[in-house]
Structure 1
């Protein structure tokens, strides 16, 4: 069964307090709250909350949270602590060894990453892609590989580029293409609904399709209500369009790696659980999800690959 996995960075289930929680101001699909409440989901969808702390003291962070989502292994426990930002060498080794994309490839299945990147970025990281590098794009910042790029490179084919986004074969990380256009990319500006149609097209012929959206985490760190409302509105429109057009034989899973944007009273990540949304065949299996280690087995099972070995919650 084709599976679409939308990863939305930095969204937790917080208090129903519109002063600090933008998810309490507007009824989004990701508007799930710490008490378990939230509006019914369309299309027969179901929501649960998943623990992101994983039995490790401290605030959950992106590198370990994303490594856990993409492998099914408790990355902060293996590392001994939560790690922010980009994966270090041990986490990169974990992602290369246990990535869901590697599992798919080993099983003869097809996985793809819908996000489109500049060729200059991909070439700087020695990641496979086609096309010519964009001149003077990287500036002085040293490119670093995210957990998603390491995970995808462990088992799938070439990365998508801005040329692919221009042709409708990929999506820019902001959904609409505005940020890429501001950097000189020749990509059209798309509505979230048009981006959803492109994502459904990309998913055809693949067993698992990943799309990553991280402006929600950026808004949380900036403590910007305006930025948060804008980012959440874009990803919500994308998700609603996906659900409305979701074929009966396609599953959709949406989740995050840690909390952040749900509490703009501070710029740090939170201890909140994260919402997990399931549509299509994924909805019936959400009872199996208790923490972040259970997302990878869910995705692989839906995609027709044998699940990872059983482990206790947080294991």
Structure 2
């Protein structure tokens, strides 16, 4: 059966090719470049549109003035509805009150469960969260967009126990933050190993989503060394995933909610377009997308078509 791997990169845009401000222009990142047809991820990169590989820019401004934010950007990305317009402005980092009903009814996970796919769990969010996250979120009622999507769709949010039993990934890929900062004795994992784990987990579902937010944090901190370390770790992760998943029947999708990391001259988000990568079986379905608003409808259509073709 076909599987779709959705890797969401927080705060990654296609910016200037100036290596002085854009680490994506400065660094040699083999997996990134492979996913862009041999190009670095900048505004100069040409659009790639083949049956098995698509690389193109997507608008993340949503026709709303101001700088895009995670709350409305992610809600748009994971529903297919322009949540910046619903809220009346860009808003973040948490979901805007006006967009919560939209997430509840139209989020990607709920839409996939309606397809009647032959899985006990058609979709899965494979990020794990430590105990203190749940304590804070439940106390304050402040869930992130992706965890709220899980709650609204009845999907399980993965925990420490899932990390211990190799059923989830930590946000930092290797688990080092869980060990050194949070004090949890989780098994060490290489970045490439995390990519291989994602490939394995994906075989149990029609779609798996992994969220990587350290890119956005590095962009806000404007530290070139931190940005380089984050991108190189992510590149090793993608290399591990690409070496393991089957592009003849599976699809890898990557995109973002807004720009940030691509311009270390500013602490804020940017209005740059964000990258869209589709690699593998059915990638060509994503060649005509122009906005992050179009991603979830295209994902639902791709999953439905792939499973219909597989019988």
Band the TM-score falls in, shorter-chain normalisation: 0.7 to 0.9
Change (3 A) 1:51 1:90: same
Alignment of 1:280-295 (within 5 A): 280-295=280-295
Q: C-alpha offsets along residues 243-274 of structure 1, whole Å, 9 cap, x if unaligned?
A: 22221221110011000000000101001000
Aligned residues: 290
**Alpha carbons 1:193, 1:237 under 8 Å: kept:** yes
| Mapped pair 1:69 → 2:81 | no
TM-score scaled by length of structure 2: 0.87
Distance 2:303 2:20 in 1: 40
**Alpha carbons 1:251, 1:302 under 8 Å: kept:** no
Alignment of 1:138-153 (within 5 A): 144-153=142-151
2:107 aligned residue (99, 102, 110): 99
**1:301 equivalent in structure 2:** 301
Runs (4+) off by over 2 Å: 35-38, 43-46, 106-109, 119-126, 141-144
Distance 1:185 1:44 in 2: 40
**2:131 equivalent in structure 1:** 119
Distance 2:202 2:146 in 1: 17
Alignment of 1:197-208 (within 5 A): 197-208=196-207
Q: C-alpha offsets along residues 177-218 of structure 1, whole Å, 9 cap, x if unaligned?
A: 111112112211211111011111111121110000000100
Distance 1:23 1:249 in 2: 30
**Alpha carbons 1:253, 1:282 under 8 Å: kept:** no
Aligned-partner SS, 1:299:
helix
**1:177 equivalent in structure 2:** 175
Change (3 A) 1:287 1:37: closer
Alignment of 1:205-224 (within 5 A): 205-224=204-223
Q: C-alpha offsets along residues 79-122 of structure 1, whole Å, 9 cap, x if unaligned?
A: 11100211122222211111010111222341100101123423
**Alpha carbons 2:17, 2:25 under 8 Å: kept:** yes
Distance 1:213 1:240 in 2: 15
**Alpha carbons 2:7, 2:210 under 8 Å: kept:** yes
Aligned-partner SS, 1:96:
helix
5+ long unaligned stretches in structure 1: 127-140, 307-315
**2:53 equivalent in structure 1:** 45
**1:313 equivalent in structure 2:** none
Aligned-partner SS, 1:160:
coil
Distance 1:299 1:11 in 2: 20
Root-mean-square deviation (CA, aligned residues, Å) is 2.2
Change (3 A) 1:64 1:152: same
**Alpha carbons 1:252, 1:282 under 8 Å: kept:** no
Aligned-partner SS, 1:57:
coil
Change (3 A) 1:123 1:106: farther
5+ long unaligned stretches in structure 2: 34-39, 307-311
Aligned-partner SS, 2:242:
helix
State the shift of 1:235 in Å.
1.2
State the shift of 1:149 in Å.
0.5
